Chains A and B, each alone.
Chain A
């Protein structure tokens, strides 16, 4: 009995704290707006818009770095660097910040020296946010071992499921070795419905 009471208390508390979006009904002339409709379409939806829209974040500082020589976009870490978000609007904005370096500091010509790294976000394992070179691309340049801190932002307005979605941080390199630092360097990802 005590366990049941605790369960019901937790359930009620959770229902009070969270609600989902309800597509507003259309008012009809002369028809009263019921308390139930008001609570569902005005109170609960306003609460949802003010403080309950889905958001998700990852702050990962691991024990080792990530490296890749992949020339096609690949997830950095589909276990630890994957956002999972259940949304109602069909739109997700996502951000990531990290520190990288490319091993190639000499290829190319003129002032365009060194290897490049491209970054993007991958929605549900199929849809990338950016173009051929992702949402952002850097070139190492002939600056030796200098690291670069990168912040990227992407928005998905198509392909988002009105349910659970996954977003991976993905990257590719022009060749040689790209390193994303994580031993002593946090990698952050944040996503929110908009």
Chain B
């Protein structure tokens, strides 16, 4: 397993939306997503060894999570 990390400012509040962010990552990555971890200043996507960290699907997952966060901020 390896992971990619998306940095956010501390206090982002995504812990309260863990299942939503998890679903976004799994939609983009399927079985290659082993789950996510939400830390005070980041979100980490846990990946299977079958997918590279720079795979387009990973990039799509990152963008979708960032978009979700922006929508939360705007909402």
The answer to whether B11 and A64 touch across the interface, beta carbons within 8 angstroms, is yes
Collect the chain A residues with CB atoms within 8 Å of residue B10's CB.
63-64
CA distance A64 to B8 in the complex (A): 13
Q: Which of B13, B34, B40 contacts A70 (CB 8 A)?
A: B34
CB-based contact B11/A71 at 8 Å: no
Instruction: Please state if A69 and B15 are interface contacts (CB–CB under 8 Å).
Output: no
How many Å lie between the Cα of A169 and that of B11 in the bound state? 22
**A65, A70, A72 pick with most chain B CB within 10 angstroms:** A70
Q: Are A67 and B35 in contact (CB under 8 A)?
A: no
Number of interface residues of B (CB under 8 A): 19
In the assembled complex, how far is the CB of residue B34 from the closest CB belonging to chain A, in whole angstroms?
A: 5
CB closest chain-A residue, reference B14: A67
The total of Cβ contacts below 8 Å across the A-B interface reads 60
- Contact residues in B for A70 (Cβ distance below 8 Å): 34-37, 46
Which of A14-22, A84-92, A158-166, A175-183 lies at the interface with chain B? Answer: A175-183
Interface of A is mostly: loop
B3 A74 Cβ-Cβ under 8 A: yes
- Cross-interface CB contact of A71 among B3, B12, B34, B39, cutoff 8 Å: B34
Residues 60-99 of chain A: 1 if any B CB is under 8 Å from the residue's CB, otherwise 0? 0011111111111010110000000000000000000000
Interface residue ranges, A against B (CB under 8 Å): 62-72, 74, 76-77, 103, 173, 176-177, 179, 182
Please, how many angstroms separate the alpha-carbon atoms of A66 and B43 in the complex? 10
Cα separation A65 to B39 with both chains bound (whole Å): 7
Residue from A74, A176, A182 within 8 A of B37 (CB atoms): A74
B11 close to A63 (CB less than 8 A): yes
Can you report 20 residue pairs joining A to B where beta carbons are below 8 Å apart? Answer: A64-B10, A64-B12, A64-B13, A64-B39, A65-B40, A66-B15, A66-B38, A67-B15, A67-B38, A68-B35, A69-B19, A69-B22, A69-B35, A70-B35, A72-B35, A74-B1, A74-B3, A177-B19, A177-B22, A182-B40
